[in-house]
Amino acid sequence: MTTDRTQDGKGSDVHGIFQKIAGYYDRMNFVMTLGRHEKWCREVAARVAPARGGQLLDLATGTGVIALEAARRYPTVTVTGADFSAEMLRRAKAKPGADAVRWQHADATDLPFEDESFDGITEGYLLRNVADLPAVLREQHRVLKPGGRVVILETCPPSGLVEPVVKWGMRVIVPLLGQVVARDRKSYTYLESSTRAFETPQSIAVVLRGLGFRDIGWRKKFFGTNVILWATKAN
């Protein structure tokens, strides 16, 4: 989640949702993934593998799960956690180990960093919430050093034999969990619908390749509803 990522209605609406759900964001991620979310975040941090003494950017840092794991895993690396939600950042800063991360309010469509500033970029659930996905990935390509890797945790539209069952579960259960756990059915109805409507990993790979990334791969998670993608900026 990274100030308004866009200046249009969607950017404003999404910003409002993430400001609102910050207090129960970690709890809902745990419940919706049956406890798998933190494991996926650890895998994202492990896959980015920035150079020793380098710079790592965690976009859509939210409550800082990936950024904090990266700071623990790579003690010689400077980790910057960036998000558009001041409330998310406030909660990230209150977590144990938060002093090891540089927290920054930032717009994913117009990053406040110089070209080729980072040895690696991670992100969690950013792309489905932006109006211009190629523009956001273009910004990441700009600030990433040649040979640096981007690792993305995202939702994924289900497919295959389980697709009807999974879609039904997402449509019914996710908003219900939002009502029961967070007392906020509306926000999680949006999050469920954005998951079902989002791009496939193959589509994101096409955009990454067109921007100059190589060695692109992905691994689906949790009945195909989440995915970890990775790519390397060409030298």
What residues form DSSP beta bridges with 99?
A: none
Domains observed in the chain: 9-161+199-233 (3.40.50.150)
Residue 22 marked as a ligand binder: no
Query: Measured between alpha carbons, how far is 108 from 183 in angstroms, rounded to an integer?
Result: 29
pLDDT band at 17 (very low <50, low <70, confident <90, very high): confident
Q: Is the pTM of this model over 0.85?
A: yes
Question: 48 and 120 in contact (C-beta within 8 Å)?
Answer: yes
196: enclosing H helix or E strand: helix 185-197
Question: Which pLDDT does position 183 carry in this prediction?
Answer: 66
* Residue 5 pLDDT: 37
Q: Which of 91, 12, 79, 88 is nearest to 50 (CA)?
A: 79
**DSSP H or E segment with residue 155:** strand 144-155
Which of 12-16, 34-38, 124-128 is the least confident region?
12-16
Mean pLDDT of the residues in the chain:
88
Q: Which token pair is 39?
A: 């494991």
Structure-model confidence comparison of residues 164 and 38, the more confident one: 38
What is the pLDDT averaged over residues 62-69?
98
Residue 234 assigned as binding residue: no
pLDDT(191) > 90 = no
Residue 9 pLDDT: 43
Q: Would you say 107 is a known binding-site residue?
A: yes
Cβ partners under 8 Å of residue 161, min gap 6: none
111, amino acid identity: L
**pLDDT for 20:** 80
- Contact between 220 and 227 (Cβ < 8 Å): yes
- Structure tokens, 51: 């150079």
Q: Please tell me whether 83 is known to bind a ligand.
A: yes
What amino acid is encoded at 51 in this protein?
Answer: A
The pLDDT of residue 223 is 83
Specify the DSSP class assigned to residue 160: S
Residue 231: pLDDT band (50, 70, 90) is very high
